[in-house]
């Protein structure tokens, strides 16, 4: 158990819909990362938040957005969903020293999203 929790575990929805994925980081971790894992694209970094502020952006679509709240939990919002958005979405957290390049990221169990 990494200490990172994600809800829900599974989500089935239709094209055009909007969903919110939730992540609670390990106790004391300030950084939260979001990743998308799909069969064709592999593991893709989406976005990082550090202590409530966006720190780095990866291959995140404009239809996707995220935020980190004062209690450090984070939400990833996916809108206007397409079939290709079906994937496993992971959240990870780290101790969060900004720019600490050798930090270990601790991954949650993921949310499996299926868009029909």
Partner 1 sequence: AQSVTQLGSHVSVSEGALVLLRCNYSSSVPPYLFWYVQYPNQGLQLLLKYTSAATLVKGINGFEAEFKKSETSFHLTKPSAHMSDAAEYFCAVSDLGSNYQLIWGAGTKLIIKP
Interface residues with partner 1 (CB under 8 A) are: 2, 4, 42-45, 48, 56, 58, 90, 92, 99-102, 104-110
Least separation in angstroms between residue 16's CB and partner 1 is 28
Helix (H, G, I), strand (E, B) or coil at 46: strand
**Of 45 and 52, which CB lies nearer to partner 1 in the complex structure?**
45
For the CB of residue 110, give the shortest distance to partner 1 in the complex, in Å. Answer: 6
Q: Closest distance between partner 1 and the C-beta of residue 13, in Å? A: 21
How many other C-beta atoms can be found within 10 angstroms of the C-beta atom of residue 56? Answer: 12
Smallest Cα–Cα separation from 8: which of 18, 19, 22, 25?
Answer: 22
Residue 16 has which token pair?
A: 């055009």
């Amino acid at each position: 158990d990494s200490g990172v929790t994600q809800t829900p575990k599974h989500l089935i929805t239709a094209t055009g819909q909007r969903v919110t994925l939730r992540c609670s980081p390990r106790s004391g971790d300030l950084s939260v990362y979001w990743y998308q894992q799909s069969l064709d694209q592999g593991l893709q970094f989406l976005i990082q938040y550090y202590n409530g502020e966006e720190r780095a952006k990866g291959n995140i679509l404009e239809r996707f957005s995220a935020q980190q709240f004062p209690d450090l939990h984070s939400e990833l919002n996916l809108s206007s969903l397409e079939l290709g958005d079906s994937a496993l979405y992971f959240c990870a957290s780290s101790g969060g020293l900004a720019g600490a390049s050798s930090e270990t990221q601790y991954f949650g169990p993921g949310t499996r999203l299926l868009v029909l």
